[in-house]
Amino acid sequence: MVRVRFAPSPTGHLHIGGARTALFNYLFAKRHKGVFILRIEDTDELRSTGESVRSIFESMKWLGLEWDEGAMPDNAGKGHFGPYVQSEREAAGIYKRYAEELLKDGKAYRCYCTPEELEERRAAALLEKRQQKYDGRCRVLTDAQRRDFEARGRKPVVRFRMPDAGATCWEDLIHKSVKFENNLLYDFVMIKASGYPTYNFACVIDDHLMEISHIIRGDDHVSNTPLQLHLYEALGWKAPELAHLSMILGSDGTRLSKRHGATSVGEYRAQGYLPGTMRNYLALLGWSNPESQQIFEEGELESKFDLAGCQKSPAIFDPAKLDWMNGEYIRRQSKEKLLELALPFIKGAGLAVEHAPVPLIDLVALEQEKYKLLRDIPARIEFFFNAVIYEPAAVEKTFRTSEAKKILEGIKAVYAALDLFKETEIEAATRSFAKANAFKAGQVFHPVRVAVSGRTDGPTLFRMIEYLGREEVLRRLTHAATLAEG
Q: What is the CATH number of domain 93-245?
A: 3.40.50.620
Chain segment 419-477, per-residue pLDDT in tens = 999 999 999 999 999 999 999 999 999 999 999 999 999 999 999 999 999 999 999 99
Q: What are phi and psi of 197, to 5 degrees?
A: -75, 155
Instruction: Give the pLDDT band (50/70/90) at residue 263.
Output: confident
Chain segment 219-244, per-residue pLDDT in tens = 999 999 999 999 999 999 999 999 99
Q: What are the domain boundaries of the chain?
A: 3-90+248-316, 93-245, 335-384, 392-483
Question: Within 13 A of 478's CA, how many CA atoms are on the CB side?
Answer: 8
Average pLDDT over residues 53-82: 95
Decide: 157 and 189 in contact? Cβ < 8 Å: yes
Decide: 361 and 384 in contact? Cβ < 8 Å: no
pLDDT of residue 125: 87
**Share above pLDDT 90 across residues of the chain, in percent, rounded to a whole number:** 93
Chain segment 123-149, per-residue pLDDT in tens = 998 888 888 899 999 999 999 999 999
CA distance 462 to 445: 9
Decide: 274 and 376 in contact? Cβ < 8 Å: no
Asked if the domains at 3-90+248-316 and 392-483 fall in one CATH topology, the answer is no
Residue 486 has pLDDT above 60, yes or no: no
Q: What is the mean pLDDT of the chain?
A: 95
Closest C-alpha to 31, from 260, 301, 228, 316: 301
Alpha carbon 3 to its chain centroid, in Å, reads: 23
- List the catalytic residues: 258
Amino acid type, 164: D
CA distance 21 to 248: 11
CB atoms under 10 Å from CB of 181, counted, come to 11
Q: What is the CATH number of domain 3-90+248-316?
A: 3.40.50.620
Closest C-alpha to 232, from 258, 252, 253, 209: 209
Planar angle of CA 340, 341, 344, nearest 5 degrees? 90
Chain segment 390-425, per-residue pLDDT in tens = 999 999 999 999 999 999 999 999 999 999 999 999
Give the CATH class of 392-483: mainly alpha
